[in-house]
Amino acid sequence: MHRPLIPEPGGTGAPTRSGQSPGNGTDFAEASTNPQVRSQITEMRDRIAIPPEAIAQAIAFVIEQPATVAVNEIVVRPTAQN
């Protein structure tokens, strides 16, 4: 999944442009109408997913950077995904 996280408004100094974060501990699997796919996604999530709080910490890190620092992308992924 790759999508814009926070677009940089002109002149505000918001440093984040995009983020990639596979393997989040969210309820994404419930969106599938195929029970087998839903089960596979849920199993993988339960095995390797990182908690939403870890994503929040990574985003907070970016937001806390001074206006002189530009963080163009962040990639947060579970270490179990190696």
Whether residue 1 is predicted with pLDDT greater than 50 in this model: the reply is: no
Q: Cα separation of 16 and 55, whole Å?
A: 14
Within-domain flag for 72: yes
Within-domain flag for 42: yes
The whole domain housing 70 covers 2-77
Q: Cα separation of 41 and 18, whole Å?
A: 24
Please state the φ and ψ torsions of residue 69, each to the nearest 5 degrees.
Answer: -110, 130
> What percentage of the chain reaches a pLDDT higher than 70?
66
**pLDDT (0 to 100) of residue 61:** 92
Question: Span 41-66, mean pLDDT?
Answer: 87
Domain count, the chain: 1
User: At 60, is the pLDDT very low, low, confident or very high (cuts 50, 70, 90)?
Assistant: very high
